[in-house]
Amino acid sequence: MAFSRLFFHLLLSLLASGSAYGRTGPKFLDPVVLAQQEADRVVELPGQPQVKFRQYAGYVTVDESHGKALFYWFFEATHKPQEKPLLLWLNGGPGCSSIGYGEAEELGPFLVQKGVPELKFNQYSWNKEANLLFVESPIGVGFSYSNTSSDLNELGDASTAKDAYAFLVNWFRRFPQYKSHDFYIAGESYAGHYVPQLSERIFDENKKVSKEKYINFKGFIIGNALMDDETDQDGMIDYAWDHAVLSDETYHTIKKYCNFSKSSDEQLPECTEAVNTYYSVYDIIDMYSLYSPICVDPNAATSRRLRKIEGIAPKVVAKSDGWHRKPAGYDPCVDYHVEAYFNRRDVQEALHANVTKIPYAWTLCSDAIENWNDAPASVLPVIRKLIAGGIRVWVFSGDTDGRIPVTATRYTLNKLGLNITEDWNAWYNHQEVGGFTIVYDGLAFVTLRGAGHQVPTFVPKRARQLIKHFLANKQLPKSPF
């Protein structure tokens, strides 16, 4: 009788929020599923503003034999969640937290700030356009873990895609009311690897899995994304020189002695020395947003450098610590506030996080990951395959990012060799030019004016407009409105 009463109250609660509805009408869920959802429901976080939509957080097991589990945080859409698509956001690194960056600094409903209250509502949150899912991937990132310690030494692109796919299959079992919704993936930076590779995994598995495991996948969008070693590095150097970051001498030395189509072991000493000179500039300015202030707080997380991760792409510049500098947003010390917040015990309890008492502090980018065993030099073959398969593909770029700059992305997209169906045009956010766009056969490219590496941090209103148009598969406006 006690369980029946509990189930009845859970069902009423979920029906009141619309959570137990699918696209086609009422959908009564299994009582065990309802209980699992309710166990993951986040009632309220410390310092959180009041909201009407529901949020859930917790762990999804991806490999029972190894004890692998990925941590997620999910937000229902602010209005009519039963009618909105589902969007997964991934940050890159590899090894950086989608919750710490994506949710807490960029596009989530709750942005971390200095002082009290610790959270502020993001009026440009992407859950105004979609049901929004964040996951910390791979294991070793944020609160995600494995009980098999050797797993941390076997990480790479392939295992990350495999575990992320297992996460999705199991997450949909926990939240089956979203299974019929259109599903999209978005991400930035090294997610230029993660997102296409996970998309390919879903695309391939959908051809052979049962109806139970089928994912209603429609497309992906990636920003300031690492996609091709050669063009990403060439574009980074050209952009730096063109934006007065590099001297003529250093620029010409790199152009003469560096061959970015080769591995780091094949580069001449003159190349390595010149690249190190290039990176030294980013000790005094923000590589991820050229015209933003840097954090001058000596205690802040952004004053640290990450340990190098061996084996990631691209191979030449990855040898330099500068590759792993942490990005910053409007508040250049916001990383410090985010790390302090998510290391609070009351915050972790509210999120149902760190239940296994992970033996290291939560960090924006993982200190537990030291090796990366596979990273293809280019994901362009994967992107070509998915375009040919009818998957919607958009690429965007903040044009003040020096890390994976717009120049690099344009070189990379040119390498795809796609036909242009609509050439370079300005697009508008109300009366202002939001950026520029070009449409290829099967792919749209959008720049966002004045945005650094973390586009939603710098131009939140334009970023929300971007995701709204992507999800609706509509071109951005070409005239003021």
For residue 270, the SS3 value is helix
Q: What percent helix, strand, coil does the chain show, rounded to 5?
A: 40, 20, 40
Is residue 337 annotated as part of the catalytic site, yes or no? Answer: no
Separation of alpha carbons 88 and 454, rounded Å: 16
Helix (H) or strand (E) holding 443: strand 443-448
Q: Under a CB-based contact definition with an 8 Å cutoff, are residues 184 and 85 in contact?
A: yes
Helix (H) or strand (E) holding 379: none
Is residue 243 annotated as part of the catalytic site, yes or no? Answer: no
What count of other Cβ atoms lies within 10 Å of the Cβ of residue 299?
Answer: 8
Give bridge partners of residue 392 from the DSSP assignment.
219
Q: Under a CB-based contact definition with an 8 Å cutoff, are residues 204 and 157 in contact?
A: no
| Dihedral angle, C-alpha 357, 113, 96, 108, nearest 10 ° | 100
Q: Under a CB-based contact definition with an 8 Å cutoff, are residues 398 and 458 in contact?
A: yes
End-to-end CA distance of the chain: 59
Distance set, CA 12 to CA 16, 17, 20, 34 (Å):
6, 9, 9, 11
Q: Active site residue: 189, 289, 320, 366, which one?
A: 189
Distance of CA 268 to the CA centre of its chain: 34
Q: Active site residue: 40, 63, 234, 401, which one?
A: 401
Q: Under a CB-based contact definition with an 8 Å cutoff, are residues 156 and 180 in contact?
A: no
**Residue 74, token pair as written in the block:** 């999910």
Which residue spans within 211-268 are E strands per DSSP?
A: 217-223
What count of other Cβ atoms lies within 10 Å of the Cβ of residue 448?
Answer: 28
Is residue 189 annotated as part of the catalytic site, yes or no? Answer: yes
For residue 318, the 8-state DSSP code is G
Largest Cα separation within the chain, whole Å, is 80
Q: Active site residue: 181, 193, 453, 469, which one?
A: 453
Closest CA to 19 of 126, 131, 103, 122: 131
What is the C-alpha R_g of the chain?
A: 22
* Catalytic positions, written as ranges: 189, 401, 453
